[in-house]
Amino acid sequence: MSNYSDNNGFEDILQRLLANVDSSLDKRQGSIIYDALAPAAAELAQCYIALDVFTDQTYLLNATGENLDNRVVDYGLSRREATKAIRVIKTYDTNNDLMAVDIGSRFAVPNDFGGYTYIITEQVTVGEYLAECETAGSVGNEYLGDLLPLVSINNLGVATLTTTYKPGEDEETDDELRDRALLKINQESFSGNKAAYKQFVADIDGVEKSKIFPVWDGGGTVKVSIISSNNTIPSSEFIDAVQELIDPIQNQGEGVGIAPIGHTVTVEAPTRLNINISATLTIETGYTVEQLQTSIRQQIANYIAEVQDEWEDATELIIYTSKIIAAILGVSQVKNVTNLTINGQATDLTIQFTGSNVQFPILNEVILNAN
Query: Which helix (H) or strand (E) covers residue 53, if one does?
Result: helix 32-56
Determine the pLDDT at residue 1: 53
Distance CA 54, CA 47 (A): 10
Determine the pLDDT at residue 318: 97
The residues with which 131 forms a beta bridge, in sequence order, are: 87, 120
pLDDT digit string, tens, across residues 277-315: 999 999 999 999 999 999 999 999 999 999 999 999 899
Q: What percent of the chain has pLDDT over 90?
A: 79
Please state the separation of Cα 333 from the chain's center in Å: 31
Q: Is the pLDDT of residue 5 over 90?
A: no
Phi and psi at 317, nearest 5°, equal -120, 145
Q: What percent of the chain has pLDDT over 70?
A: 98
Distance CA 176, CA 180 (A): 6
Q: What pLDDT band is residue 267 in, cutting at 50, 70 and 90? A: very high
pLDDT digit string, tens, across residues 197-239: 988 898 888 898 999 999 999 999 999 999 998 889 998 989 9
Closest CA to 4 of 60, 57, 54, 64: 54
Distance CA 14, CA 284 (A): 60
pLDDT digit string, tens, across residues 65-97: 999 999 999 988 999 999 999 999 999 999 999
Distance CA 341, CA 280 (A): 10
3-state secondary structure 301-356: HHHHHHHHHHCCCCCEEEECHHHHHHHHHCCCCEEEEEEEEECCECCCEEEECECC
C-alpha angle with apex 169: 92 to 76, nearest 5 degrees?
Answer: 140
C-alpha angle with apex 340: 338 to 345, nearest 5 degrees?
Answer: 140
The 3-state DSSP class for residue 223 equals: strand
Whether this prediction's pTM lies above 0.85 is answered by no
Q: What pLDDT band is residue 130 in, cutting at 50, 70 and 90? A: very high
Q: Is the pLDDT of residue 324 over 70?
A: yes
Distance CA 170, CA 132 (A): 15
The residues with which 334 forms a beta bridge, in sequence order, are: 283
Closest CA to 102 of 27, 156, 45: 156
Determine the pLDDT at residue 196: 86
pLDDT digit string, tens, across residues 33-72: 999 999 999 999 999 999 998 888 999 999 999 999 999 9
Q: What pLDDT band is residue 190 in, cutting at 50, 70 and 90? A: low
200: left (phi over 0), alpha (psi -120 to 50) or beta: alpha
Per-domain boundaries in the chain:
10-56, 86-166, 198-268, 271-370
Q: What pLDDT band is residue 116 in, cutting at 50, 70 and 90? A: very high
Please state whether beta strands 145-149 and 106-108 pair in parallel, antiparallel, or not at all (unpaired). Answer: antiparallel
Distance CA 34, CA 36 (A): 5
